[in-house]
């Protein structure tokens, strides 16, 4: 039997209660090299050629699958079984931070073997201060990102600079809604003048109500994930809530498109590498993580996916390489400067029950697009 997205979110509540009694390992698991590694990641996060390079550098045989499409289905398919006690079929998975938070809370993440990951020291301190994993003991950020607005100036008849521009009636029926609740509701909260980094049930529900209103009246005509690129290039959408990395890549391919951090701000997030409890190739996973956190290798990854790089020293590496790499080092979408960082909002903490009910309600909006 397969769950629907909505059934899964409801079931996840019960699972949280069940898993709450779990406890993570204490980090004394021995490092036994198996030579194998299974990684599950989102699409277009790494150049396939880089995988071969990692294999050559580490001697690992890597099964790399880009099958993590969104957090709800990703949790359903890959994470829920592990939370339920099954032996994981992968060694590293890269859910968004709030999913990692729940895995760690339920004691289903392996503590990182720090002796095998000396490059852990290169994690940007901005990623170390999360209350749910202070100092990053259980996860290492893969890439960060921003959810802002991508648009085609020719189709919107001018510039878009504010989130409220997305709700302008002149764009009715030509706007995309991002399919991740925290990002969509977060942007709506910013447009309402509320702070998504300090959400309350009232402000979050107000953001959701605004989105519902514009879904019901047909203003949004698609729920998008990384497919927003296709919708924009086809012209189905004139503007959409969009992820920075893919938007930046789109801009490189086609200069017609713009990506903006709205005046009210954008939502920042990160997807993070986590080893599920009982991962079979624990030592290999540590090798992968250490490889990814070498600034030289991180530069290669960042230059390919154009997402926010969480690895200290990468910017310097790119600068030293000159040419396009040096230009990339100054791209605030990959290395946000102080001004950009000040305009980014991380989704804050709501109580689990409220968050789940908002998640369910947001998910019900998918019905309008079926």
Beta bridge partners of 273: 140
Q: Which of 74, 113, 144, 179 binds other proteins (CB under 8 A)?
A: 113
**313-339: buried (b, 16+ CB within 10 Å) or exposed (e) per residue?**
bbbebbbeeeeebeebbebbbbbbeee
- Chain-centroid distance of CA 262 in Å reads 19
SS3 call for 151: strand
User: Is 200 an interacting residue with respect to other proteins (CB under 8 A)?
Assistant: no
Q: Which of 11, 121, 252, 327 binds other proteins (CB under 8 A)?
A: 121
User: Is 296 an interacting residue with respect to other proteins (CB under 8 A)?
Assistant: no
Report the alpha-carbon distance of residue 106 to residue 87 in Å, rounded: 15
Q: Which of 111, 153, 278, 332 binds other proteins (CB under 8 A)?
A: 111
User: Is 272 an interacting residue with respect to other proteins (CB under 8 A)?
Assistant: no
Q: Which of 21, 26, 323, 367 binds other proteins (CB under 8 A)?
A: 26
CA distances from 306 to 112, 260, 334 (A): 26, 15, 6
User: Is 32 an interacting residue with respect to other proteins (CB under 8 A)?
Assistant: no
| HEC per residue, 198-256 | CCCHHHHHHHHHHHHHHHHCCCEEEEECCCHHHHHHHCCCCEEEEEHHHHHHHHHHCCC
User: Is 124 an interacting residue with respect to other proteins (CB under 8 A)?
Assistant: yes
Report the alpha-carbon distance of residue 68 to residue 259 in Å, rounded: 24
User: Is 56 an interacting residue with respect to other proteins (CB under 8 A)?
Assistant: no
User: Is 28 an interacting residue with respect to other proteins (CB under 8 A)?
Assistant: yes
User: Is 126 an interacting residue with respect to other proteins (CB under 8 A)?
Assistant: yes
SS3 call for 154: helix
SS3 call for 265: coil
Residue with tokens 């998640």: 359
Closer residue to other proteins (CB): 26 or 169: 26
Closest residue by Cα to residue 6 from 102, 85, 72: 72
User: Is 135 an interacting residue with respect to other proteins (CB under 8 A)?
Assistant: yes
User: Is 125 an interacting residue with respect to other proteins (CB under 8 A)?
Assistant: yes
| Minimal distance, residue 170 CB to other proteins, in Å | 31
| Minimal distance, residue 290 CB to other proteins, in Å | 11
| Minimal distance, residue 295 CB to other proteins, in Å | 13
User: Is 158 an interacting residue with respect to other proteins (CB under 8 A)?
Assistant: no
Closer residue to other proteins (CB): 129 or 252: 129
Q: Which helix (H) or strand (E) holds 38?
A: strand 36-40
By CB under 8 A, the count of residues binding other proteins is 28
By CB under 8 A, which span of 11-19, 122-130, 145-153, 207-215 interacts with other proteins? Answer: 122-130
Q: Which of 10, 15, 69, 116 binds other proteins (CB under 8 A)?
A: 116
- Asked if 232 contacts 155 with a C-beta cutoff of 8 angstroms, the reply is no
User: Is 134 an interacting residue with respect to other proteins (CB under 8 A)?
Assistant: yes
157: left (phi over 0), alpha (psi -120 to 50) or beta: left
Rg of the chain over CA atoms, in angstroms? 20
By CB under 8 A, which span of 32-40, 116-124, 148-156, 316-324 interacts with other proteins? Answer: 116-124
Q: Which of 6, 33, 53, 137 binds other proteins (CB under 8 A)?
A: 137
Residue with tokens 């959810």: 147
By CB under 8 A, which span of 26-34, 44-52, 102-110, 235-243 interacts with other proteins? Answer: 26-34
Q: Which of 4, 17, 18, 27 binds other proteins (CB under 8 A)?
A: 27
Q: Under the rule (CB under 8 A), what is the footprint of other proteins?
A: 26-28, 111, 113-118, 120-121, 123-126, 128-129, 131, 134-137, 197, 338, 341-342, 344
């Amino acid at each position: 039997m397969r769950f629907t997205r909505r059934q899964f979110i409801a079931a996840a509540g019960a699972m949280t209660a069940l898993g709450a009694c779990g406890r993570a390992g204490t980090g004394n698991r021995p490092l036994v090299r198996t030579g194998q590694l299974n990684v599950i990641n989102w699409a277009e996060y790494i150049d396939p050629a880089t995988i071969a390079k990692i294999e050559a550098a580490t001697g690992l045989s890597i099964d790399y699958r880009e099958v993590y499409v969104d957090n709800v289905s990703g949790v359903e398919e890959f994470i829920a079984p592990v939370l339920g006690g099954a032996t994981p079929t992968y060694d590293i998975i890269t859910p968004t931070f709030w999913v990692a938070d729940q895995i760690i809370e339920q004691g289903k993440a392996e503590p990182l073997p720090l002796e095998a990951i000396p490059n852990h020291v290169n994690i940007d301190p901005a990623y170390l201060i999360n209350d749910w994993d202070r100092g990053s003991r259980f996860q290492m950020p893969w890439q960060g990102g921003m959810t802002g607005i991508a648009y085609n100036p020719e189709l919107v008849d001018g510039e878009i600079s504010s989130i409220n521009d997305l709700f302008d009636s002149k764009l009715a029926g030509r706007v995309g809604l991002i399919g991740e609740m925290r990002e969509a509701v977060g942007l709506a909260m910013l447009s309402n003048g509320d702070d998504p980094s300090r959400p309350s049930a009232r402000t979050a529900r107000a953001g959701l109500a605004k989105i519902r209103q514009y879904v019901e009246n047909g203003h949004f005509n698609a729920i998008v994930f990384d497919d927003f690129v296709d919708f924009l290039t086809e012209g189905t959408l004139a503007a959409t809530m969009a992820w920075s990395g893919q938007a930046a890549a789109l801009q490189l391919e086609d200069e017609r498109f713009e990506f903006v951090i709205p005046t009210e701000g954008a939502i920042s997030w990160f997807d993070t590498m986590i080893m599920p409890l009982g991962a079979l190739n624990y030592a290999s996973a540590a090798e992968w993580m250490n490889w990814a956190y070498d600034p030289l290798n991180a530069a290669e990854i960042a230059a390919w996916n154009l997402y926010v790089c969480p690895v200290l020293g990468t910017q310097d590496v790119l600068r030293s390489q000159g040419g396009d790499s040096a230009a990339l080092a100054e791209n605030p979408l990959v290395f946000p400067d102080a001004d950009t960082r000040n305009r980014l909002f991380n989704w804050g903490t709501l109580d689990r029950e409220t968050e789940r009910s908002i998640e369910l309600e947001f998910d019900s909006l998918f019905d309008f697009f079926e």
